[in-house]
Amino acid sequence: MNSSIVDHLGRAGRLDRMFVGGEWVLPETQTRASVVDPSTEEPVAEIALGSAGDAAAAVAAARRAFAAWSASPAQSRALLLDRIHALVLERAELFAQAISLEMGAAIDFARRTQVPSAAEHIRVARDNARGYAFVTHRGEMAIVREAIGVCGLITPWNWPLYQITAKVGAALAAGCTVVLKPSELSPLSALLFAEVMQDAGIPPGVFNLVNGSGPEVGAALAQHPEVDMISFTGSTRAGVLVAQAAAPTVKRVAQELGGKSPNLILPDADVARAVPGGVAAGFRNVGQSCSAPTRMIVPRARLHEVEQIAREAASAMVVGDPRSQQTTHGPVANRAQFHRVQEMIGIGIAEGAQLVCGGLGRPEGLSRGFYCRPTIFSAVHSRMQIAQEEIFGPVLALIPYDSVDEAVEIANDTVYGLGAHVQGKDLAAARAVAARIRSGQVHINYPAWNPHAPFGGYKRSGNGREYGIEGLEEYLETKAILGFQDAPAPAAE
């Protein structure tokens, strides 16, 4: 199936083309990049990389389409999103296979989580387009929420389809036109998504896709004067560069950046439930999630008990071939990330953290591929690098505390503020602690994922929000029309 994905994209002329103005067009240069299967370290495809000129052509197409699309009835935009949603679900297996190939997600995880969650973003955008009040009245004043304009959307490699649909769905629902630059490291699902957009009947120029590097295409979008907004998901370092490039044109910049999320285990928590759930959440997507709770903050008196439960939870994970049904965790997504994870595990050992399980190197029996051992450190304190820096891999730090006040202080002792978790039987106490944590989301006792919940960060985790109503509103401007009056009622006969 995986080879057929590449064969399909190749035969259809997708790998060497961009989707601009409703057509698959050749880029202006012949620059190519390899797509590497992280489970084998072997190239499986080559894609064309666009240039600043290609980005400019896509922006021009989006600008031409904007007037008509932004003026279209919200209900017609919802109908298009409904067709997109149906096609994503219809092609779910193709998307799952592509994601597993391009970034190493275990196929079961891709099928159960990566693709269905991505489809949910489109469904929510559709429903929001149908129900949102784009015009409200306040006395004789009208408050109009209208599309901000042409949006440059820059998405990462770790949740390739999920991040695309979160941005594209909300932007289209708002009436914006878009230029998407997906990660060049995981571009296959993006090309499949562009096919969905074409087959759904997207008007020419409303959606455009340009593959390319961040320094070339991403920077070109960020600084382009005809781009009204940039929505970026990625590292804090890259987000700073995007914001700097966008500053001279004073465009809106929405960013979802790094994280070092805490999971605070309160003294009354059921550790038999809280700890395995925390290990699973921290290692979800092989730890390659910006909101992964990679700092488990635990009562010092229960540290040894927590270590034992965490070790058992990690040992139950099956790391291996992502196409195997038995695999729970595949490789990390690329060579650079593999080296980053190995480097940070080495730093943790050198810092004197206690290794509970895992460590350097690949798991036993795996001699190639970007596989990492699920690693848990204990006796970690907040000054250690492994407690402060985002690792983006299967590495969890257990940090002991002596009082709840100290635990909250540890939870907030980070430059990030994207996500957080709190575990405890006393719900009132858990809510009180959640209120003290400085982050964009707080999860109490592992609730179900909610696509309506706004997602975004405090501090260096970014600005703006995605998902739900708040995600839609990021793509809207607010206009006040004073002296606006409702039409008079017809005279009685």
Kindly tell me if the per-residue pLDDT of 277 is higher than 90.
yes
Residue 432: inside a domain, yes or no? yes
Q: Based on the domain organization, do 29 and 122 belong to the same domain?
A: yes
Residue 388: inside a domain, yes or no? yes
Quote the pLDDT of residue 363: 97
Q: Based on the domain organization, do 250 and 289 belong to the same domain?
A: no
Q: Is 256 a catalytic residue?
A: yes
Kindly tell me if the per-residue pLDDT of 164 is higher than 60.
yes
pLDDT, tens only, 384-403: 999 999 999 999 999 999 99
Residue 77: inside a domain, yes or no? yes
pLDDT, tens only, 220-249: 999 999 999 999 999 999 999 999 999 999
CATH assignment at residue 468:
3.40.605.10
For the entire predicted model, the pTM comes to 0.96
pLDDT, tens only, 448-478: 999 999 999 999 999 999 999 999 999 999 9
Q: Based on the domain organization, do 210 and 294 belong to the same domain?
A: no
Quote the pLDDT of residue 58: 98
Catalytic option among 120, 195, 256, 307: 256
Quote the pLDDT of residue 1: 44
Catalytic option among 176, 195, 216, 290: 290
Q: Based on the domain organization, do 212 and 277 belong to the same domain?
A: no
Please work out, in degrees rounded to the nearest 5, the angle formed at the alpha carbon of residue 187 by the alpha carbons of 184 and 190: 135
Mean per-residue pLDDT, 287-291: 97
- Asked if residue 380 lies in contact with residue 386, where contact means CB atoms within 8 angstroms, the answer is yes
Q: Based on the domain organization, do 297 and 231 belong to the same domain?
A: no
Residue 81: inside a domain, yes or no? yes
Q: Could you tell me the pLDDT band of residue 162, with boundaries at 50, 70 and 90?
A: very high
Q: Average model confidence (pLDDT) for the chain? A: 97
pLDDT, tens only, 15-25: 999 999 999 99
Q: Based on the domain organization, do 250 and 267 belong to the same domain?
A: no
Q: Is 312 a catalytic residue?
A: no
pLDDT, tens only, 188-216: 999 999 999 999 999 999 999 999 999 99
Quote the pLDDT of residue 490: 65
Q: Based on the domain organization, do 292 and 381 belong to the same domain?
A: yes
Q: Based on the domain organization, do 298 and 427 belong to the same domain?
A: yes
Residue 128: inside a domain, yes or no? yes
Q: Could you tell me the pLDDT band of residue 493, with boundaries at 50, 70 and 90?
A: low
pLDDT, tens only, 359-391: 999 999 999 999 999 999 999 999 999 999 999
pLDDT, tens only, 92-123: 999 999 999 999 999 999 999 999 999 999 99
Per the structure, the complete domain to which residue 361 belongs is given by 262-444
Of 398 and 486, more confident: 398
Kindly tell me if the per-residue pLDDT of 129 is higher than 60.
yes
Q: Based on the domain organization, do 246 and 331 belong to the same domain?
A: no
CATH assignment at residue 293:
3.40.309.10
Tally of domains within the chain: 2
Residue 456: inside a domain, yes or no? no
Quote the pLDDT of residue 109: 98
Residue 454: inside a domain, yes or no? no
Q: Based on the domain organization, do 70 and 157 belong to the same domain?
A: yes
* 431 C-beta neighbours (distance < 10 Å), count: 13
Q: Based on the domain organization, do 120 and 248 belong to the same domain?
A: yes
Residue 223: inside a domain, yes or no? yes
Q: Based on the domain organization, do 147 and 183 belong to the same domain?
A: yes
Quote the pLDDT of residue 485: 81
Quote the pLDDT of residue 4: 83
